[in-house]
Amino acid sequence: MKKFIIKHITHPEKYNYFFYRWLVSIFYPDKQSVKLIGVFLWLYHQNSRMIEFTDMFMIDNTIYIYTQRPSFWIGKGGCTMDSLYDYLNKDKDGKKIHDYHIQIIEDLQSANRYKNITFTTMSENY
């Protein structure tokens, strides 16, 4: 079941993201949501207001970030993603203490996405 959900949730252009996200919430309850606090702490310490996301969840040791702008999360040459990875997986001395993975899914179906496209089109045409 896990492979099926991951296959469909990581390809939102082909499948309905929100249905599979609902399945994740049923089969993988938010017991691991405490681990997501590390991502929020990293955002706070980075003092980054430009990095936005629509949804964030975790299946096993993989954190899935659903965002309209994946380039902000990746950063220049992957530096932002490396910084987040190090913050989640290493202690102060640089020793590896966890094995979390991060996967970014581009938001192609949310209401915010359609709203932004509509307002951009309207402003360009008038």
What mean pLDDT comes out for the span 92-106? 88
pLDDT digits (tens, 9 = 90+) for 10-68: 776 666 777 888 888 888 776 667 778 888 888 888 766 667 888 888 888 888 888 88
| Predicted model pTM | 0.77
The one-letter amino acid code at 52 reads E
